[in-house]
Amino acid sequence: MVGRLIAAGGATLAVVGLFAATLYVSSGSRNVNVAPATSSGLARDLGRPQSTTLWPAWTVTMANTAHHALVVDVEARRVEQARQIAEQIVEPVRSRGYQEILIYIRKAGDPEALMRRVQWTPKTGYVESAYGAAR
């Protein structure tokens, strides 16, 4: 009888010890990513140059690449700065051999507003176009 009590007490101590160890390990600091959710690592990398501010002027929401082309979707507070935004996106990646980079810039929070597209190619440089109705 006494042996069973000692065994039960030992098992209880082991369970309590494991529980305490779990709490200790889980209470450590964690690296939490608070960046906006994006569709890919490429989109995060393209948005990184200006993402150190609390309210960035623009955010890359999607980026895809195929067949020597790169397509980037951007939400911006000031769509009229499309050319400057495109330059910040293109310059770090232009040496990667893309034959065309298309950047679509939409007004943040208003996807139906005027949209701008900036096309970059090694031959023509930057060409900006506007789409949609201005409000």
What kind of fold does domain 41-131 have according to CATH? GMP Synthetase; Chain A, domain 3 (3.30.300)
* pLDDT, tens only, 56-88: 889 999 999 999 999 999 999 999 999 999 999
* pLDDT, tens only, 80-122: 999 999 999 999 998 899 999 999 999 988 877 889 999 999 9
Cα four-point dihedral sign 84, 86, 88, 91: negative
- C-alpha 32/C-alpha 10 separation (Å) is 38
* pLDDT, tens only, 17-52: 666 555 455 444 333 333 444 455 666 666 655 555
Predicted TM-score (pTM) above 0.75:
no
Question: Which segments of 1-135 are extended strands (E)?
Answer: 58-66, 69-76, 100-107, 115-121, 125-131
Which residue type occupies 18? L
Q: What pairs with residue 105 in β-bridges?
A: 74, 116
- For every residue of 31-43, DSSP letters joined together read ----SPP-S-HHH
DSSP at 26: H
